[in-house]
């Protein structure tokens, strides 16, 4: 992964550490979070290039990430059909749920709602939970 200065076009730094190709990246404030085909999530300092933490727990490619730097929470989705909620400070996964969707393609963290999107079959339910709750609390049957 390479960080570029958008104004000058200069390469600022290269981030090395994943064993296989990248599948998703999220960049906010000074943190870059990357998910990979090596089933790992890495948290990087954009200013130093240091890997601050490696999160292990998925069994397949990590396809989607979203995090909130203010709360220190990260949500990840994988081709292992799971969605996990992590604490960035400790690196611990504190919620893990299997999703019965064929393929989770995106996760978002707007305010206090976790939204999971799938393009696999629009007739399947989308599950959502409050980011402060430890249970999947609602099932949204709306179609996208």
| Predicted confidence (pLDDT) at residue 52 exceeds the cutoff of 90 | yes
User: Over the Cα atoms of the chain, what is R_g?
Assistant: 15
Contact 64, 35 (CB under 8 A): yes
> Which of the two residues, 46 and 106, has the higher pLDDT score?
46
Which domains, ranges and CATH numbers included, belong to the chain?
2-105 (2.40.10.480)
Structure confidence by residue, pLDDT tens digits, 80-130: 888 888 999 899 998 888 876 556 667 776 544 455 555 554 444 445 544
Please, where are the H alpha helices in the chain? none
Would you state the torsion angle of the CA atoms of residues 118, 124, 130, 136, taken in this order, to the nearest 10 degrees? -120
At residue 105, the pLDDT reads: 67
Distance CA 109, CA 33 (A): 14
Contact 46, 3 (CB under 8 A): yes
Distance CA 107, CA 105 (A): 7
Confidence of residue 41 (pLDDT cuts 50, 70, 90): very high
At residue 6, the pLDDT reads: 92
Distance CA 65, CA 83 (A): 10
Both tokens assigned to 95: 């919620």
């Amino acid at each position: 992964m390479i960080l570029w200065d958008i104004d000058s076009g200069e390469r600022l730094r290269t981030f090395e550490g994943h064993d296989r190709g990248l599948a998703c990246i999220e960049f906010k404030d000074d943190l870059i979070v990357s998910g990979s085909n090596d089933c790992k999530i890495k948290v990087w300092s954009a200013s130093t290039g240091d890997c601050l933490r490696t999160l292990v727990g998925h069994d397949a490619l990590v396809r989607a990430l979203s995090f909130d730097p203010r709360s220190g929470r990260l949500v990840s989705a994988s081709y292992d059909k799971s969605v996990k909620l992590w604490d960035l400070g400790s690196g611990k996964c504190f919620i893990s749920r299997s999703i019965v969707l064929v393929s989770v393609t995106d996760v978002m963290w707007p305010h206090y709602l976790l939204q999971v999107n799938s393009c696999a079959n629009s007739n399947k339910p989308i599950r959502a939970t409050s980011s402060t709750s430890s249970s999947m609390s609602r099932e949204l049957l709306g179609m996208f």
